[in-house]
Amino acid sequence: MKQQSDAVEPASLDVAIRALRHRDRTTAELDERLAAQGIDAAERERALETLERIGYVDDERFARTRAEQLAGRGSGDALIRHDLGRRGLATEVVEAAIDALDPERERAVRIAEQRGRSVKTARYLASKGFSADVLDLVAPED
């Protein structure tokens, strides 16, 4: 009877490392990629644990970096939350990344200062995932 090894198969690590070559990815994204390559669940788990242990995969780092990128491009909390969530990140990881950003209100005010307080700016911010409370701040005064 053959015993199952705890060692990670080089092929599964190779697939994961190739996926990380051009950009950081979440654990869930890598798991999907490995599954698509026909790698079984136990092997995927061992490969992902190895990559996390050596620092190649870190969902918290990914979430913080991605949230900062999106906020820097003028995105609101809802858009950031959606983007991180669709990448398979845990809710608490997503919320911690958003909490580490400048408050959404401050980001919206900076954008409104650049673009001017107008209905057009409020629509722009709405399309970028800013909350209704924040939109009221930048709408033109009557």
- Distances from the Cα of 85 to the Cαs of 7, 12, 46, 73, 120, in angstroms? 31, 25, 24, 18, 28
For residue 3, the model assigns a pLDDT of 43
Whole-number Å distance between alpha carbons of 32 and 38: 10
Q: What single-letter amino acid sits at 104?
A: E
What confidence category does residue 142 fall into, taking pLDDT thresholds of 50, 70 and 90? low
* Residue 12 or residue 128, greater confidence: 128
What confidence category does residue 42 fall into, taking pLDDT thresholds of 50, 70 and 90? very high
- 59-98 pLDDT, tens digit each: 999 999 999 999 999 999 999 999 999 999 999 999 999 9
The pLDDT of 25-30, averaged and rounded, is 96
Q: Does the pTM of the predicted model rise above 0.75?
A: yes
